[in-house]
Amino acid sequence: MYNLRVWDGNTLRPTTCGTANTEGQVITLGTGLLDSNGTEIYEGDILEYSGVLGVVIFPFWNCYCCGGVYGFTMIPHDVSDLRDYSDSKVVGNIFENPDLLPKVGLSERHISLLEEKYNYDKG
């Protein structure tokens, strides 16, 4: 079972399938991988990996509770083929640290993807 977090517009907190009313909130899925500090990496996290910053996403809409997870990537740098994230570091996330996004260097296409998938508001 994958770990989940929910963003309610103010706080990012852990949750599990079926235990919370998440209507109107954004649910993010854990990758099952840990960064160099032992922190689990979730979609929506801003990850520093090999000297670059990126946003972790699952490129397809998935049914988290039914096991329909198809893999993740990091935008704008695709690192989905890498298996060892032990040298990576979670430095924030798109919800609580939007000020980090300009450093990531996302294209308008990537920003549109975040807006659509995670209700991200670039302000």
Over residues 74-114, the pLDDT tens digits come to 777 665 545 566 788 999 999 999 888 888 888 888 888 78
Task: Return the CATH number at 13.
Answer: 2.30.30.290
**pTM over 0.85, yes/no:** no
Q: What percentage of the chain reaches a pLDDT higher than 70?
A: 69
Phi-psi region of 67 (alpha: psi -120 to 50; beta: other; left: phi over 0): left
In a domain, 123, yes or no: no
Close Cβ partners of 104 (under 8 Å, ≥ 6 residues apart): 46, 53, 54, 55, 76
In a domain, 29, yes or no: yes
Which of 85, 83, 80, 75 lies closest to 50 in space, CA to CA? 85
**Structural domains of the chain, count:** 1
Host domain of residue 72: 4-118
